Structure 1
Amino acid sequence: MVVDDEVEQVYVSGDHRGSGVADTLLSEAERQIKANGYDEAWLAAATGNARARRFYERSGWTDSGAFDYPATTDDGPIPVPCHRYVKKL
């Protein structure tokens, strides 16, 4: 899902990991962000999700530091420890 210049919620089921579908999804998100006039995209990767963080780094994204992502719940936002990844488009 793309919201403005942010890539949100990239998920691939375990059965499809390693198939290239994540590369396709991320490339499409990057294309959409660029088409919407942004020259940089960003996404949040949970601090403990080493697999995803390695994937983003292999895909040309750069870790620009830790921050708390405000995840929305029925009871209001809660901070989730994440790393902000950015990529020039």
Structure 2
Amino acid sequence: MADTTVAVVEGVVAGFVMVAGDEVEQVYVGTSFRGGGIAGVLLGEAERLVAAGGHTDAWLAVVPGNARARRFYERSGWTDAGAFDYEAEHEGGAILVPCRRYTKRVAG
């Protein structure tokens, strides 16, 4: 089960982050809210949740072509740990998505 944190700005959902165990599963910020620091706050909360769950390291998956997200994670202290195939659930079963694995020490 995932923990979800939602960012609300003036009554409007601006973004959210989902954490499952040591994985930051989703980080999303609406287009009109990008560049305002919300992503950093959400990512910080995700890191806190991973650490609170007893994990020392967090990880997340990013598709190689998402250069904006990759730069953001790197600026936020995350490290590109290499290529891997992420198993994504789909109605017909799981599919493998080529990704980059990013990691960060969040405790200890």
| TM-score range normalised by the length of the shorter chain | over 0.9
Deviations 1:49-83 (A, max 9, x none): 11100100000000000011011110111111110
Which structure shows the higher helix fraction? 1
Counterpart residue number, 1:24: 41
> Which structure 2 segments of 5+ residues have no match?
1-17
Given the two structures, how large is their TM-score scaled by the length of structure 2? 0.80
Distance 2:41 2:33 in 1: 12
Distance 1:72 1:33 in 2: 22
**Percent of aligned pairs with the same residue?**
63
Task: Report which structure shows greater RCO (CA 8 Å, sep ≥6).
Answer: 1
Aligned pair 1:34/2:51, yes or no? yes
Counterpart residue number, 1:12: 29
Q: CA RMSD in A?
A: 0.6
Which structure shows the higher strand fraction? 2
Task: Supply the AA of the counterpart residue of 2:46.
Answer: A
Counterpart residue number, 1:66: 83
> Which structure 1 segments of 5+ residues have no match?
none
Which one has a bigger Cα radius of gyration? 2
Runs of 4+ in structure 1 over 2 Å off? none
Task: Supply the AA of the counterpart residue of 1:58.
Answer: R
Q: Within 5 Å, give how 1:41-52 maps onto structure 2.
A: 41-52=58-69
Q: How many residues align?
A: 89
